[in-house]
C-alpha cells in the first residue's frame, strides 16, 4: 500500500496543526518507503490559497522523522510509477 501525503490544508487552516502533524509523522515513521508527496493540484475549492506554508510544514515533519526528503519527493515516486531509467 502507498500513501500520498498532500493537501493538509483540507484538514485544518493551521499549516502546523498538531493533529495533522502527528498523522503525517506517524505515517512517515511507520513506512517511509511507501510515502509519496503530491501537491494535490488543482486546488479545487481553495482558490487563492498559499500552499507554501503547508508544504514547508510537511517537509519539516518528514525531516524530523529522519527520512530524507528526496526519498518521499523523488525516490518513492520513481519506484511507485516505475519512473527510473
Preceding peptide of 42 cis, ω within 30°:
yes
CA distance 56 to 21: 12
| Domain contains 66 | yes
pLDDT at 43: 62
CA distance 10 to 46: 9
| Domain contains 14 | yes
pLDDT at 85: 58
| Domain contains 30 | yes
pLDDT at 23: 94
Tens digit of each residue's pLDDT, the chain (85 residues): 999 998 888 899 999 999 999 999 999 999 999 999 887 777 677 778 888 899 999 999 999 999 999 999 999 999 999 876 5
The number of folded domains in the chain is 1
Q: Give the domain range for residue 66.
A: 3-80
Phi, psi of 23 (to 5 degrees): -65, -50
| Domain contains 85 | no
pTM of the model: 0.84
Amino acid at each position: 500500500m502507498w500513501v500520498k501525503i498532500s493537501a493538509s490544508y483540507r484538514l485544518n487552516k493551521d499549516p502546523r496543526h498538531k493533529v495533522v502533524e502527528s498523522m503525517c509523522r506517524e505515517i512517515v515513521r511507520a513506512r517511509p518507503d511507501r510515502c509519496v508527496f503530491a501537491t494535490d493540484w488543482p486546488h479545487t475549492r481553495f482558490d487563492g490559497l498559499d500552499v507554501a506554508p503547508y508544504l514547508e510544514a510537511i517537509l519539516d515533519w518528514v525531516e524530523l522523522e529522519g527520512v530524507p526528503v528526496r526519498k518521499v519527493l523523488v525516490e518513492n515516486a520513481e519506484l511507485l510509477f516505475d519512473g527510473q531509467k
